[in-house]
Chains A and B, each alone.
Chain A
Amino acid sequence: MLKSTILSFLLSLIFGFGLGISGMTNPKNVLGFLDVFGNWKPALIFVMGAGILIATPIFMFAKTKSKPILQNDFPILPEKIDFNLIFGAIIFGIGWGIAGICPGPAIVILPKFPIEILVFIGAMIIGGSAAKLIHRT
């Protein structure tokens, strides 16, 4: 348990540095990336591109294992494409397009904009609770 906890911290630290270095933490970059029909800045494609390129072989290797290295089992992940998935993605995209902030970068830039990000995350938790209540997920 201690090993898992320490590792979760270290890997999240690296993930957070990755977000910061990549430019994902700057809402202006994100909005520039999404502004395909305006002044498009395509650089952030490379964040997802490089991320997927590196993560894919690791996930493929993990699939050959019967259990994760430090835990007892891999989770059973849903595979159904349903209304909630599609409607949720539409709503998430609108929110992302409004401010250029998604949950990971929000946490990473919290030290820079504490009040703004606490409002964002507070609203996020309220939004999540609303979704749970309305759709009984």
Chain B
Amino acid sequence: MTHLFNNPYFLASIGGGLIGISAGLYYLFLGRIFGISGFIFSLFEKPVFIRIFSILGLLSAGLILNLIGAFNEINQISPLPILALAGFLVGYGSKLGNGCTSGHGICGISRFSKRSIVSVIIFISSAIITLLLKSRLGF
């Protein structure tokens, strides 16, 4: 059992399954796409309670996981100026492109949206090229 819980493929599949079931049920019951950039940008738009409690749910998961030490191995995070630049671009892009990894990546593909499939192919390619340039040019 311990082997399984140290296996990144197993954890990715279980985690992905939980993500899929919650995003699917969110649409089935609430009729809304589980899109986290959307929650952040339009937190105070209708339906305001659903948006706020969705953010609170994610945050509560983080609090619990942090308390039980699930994040202990996360010791690398970019320095503040880099985070500010990355955050700006993530915000700019997800606002303009109307979604991020959750809304386009999970929900969009699962409902066979052409728009989302195009978006995901482009943003993953763009991120891979960014990383390639970063490592080749030594940023």
Contacts and interface: CB of A to CB of B under 8 A. Distances in A.
B101 A88 contact: no
B30 A49 contact: no
Contacts, number: 476
A108 B138 CA distance: 30
Residue with the greatest number of chain A CB neighbours at <10 A, chosen from B64, B97, B105: B97
Interface of B: 8-9, 11-34, 36-37, 40-41, 47, 49-51, 53-66, 70-71, 73-74, 76-78, 80, 82-98, 100-102, 104-107, 109-111, 113-115, 118-120, 122-132, 134-135
Contacts of A6: 53
A32 B84 CA distance: 21
Q: Give the bracket for the number of chain A residues in contact with chain B.
A: 35 or more
A22 B78 contact: no
A48 B104 CA distance: 11
Given A78-B98, A116-B77, A94 B135 contact: no
A98 B86 contact: yes
Interface in A34-86: 34-38, 41, 43-59, 61-63, 65, 67-75, 77-81, 84-86
Given A96-B86, A98-B134, 17 more contacts: A9-B53, A13-B61, A17-B61, A23-B8, A36-B131, A54-B17, A58-B28, A71-B29, A78-B115, A85-B98, A102-B90, A103-B101, A109-B74, A116-B77, A119-B84, A126-B88, A128-B92
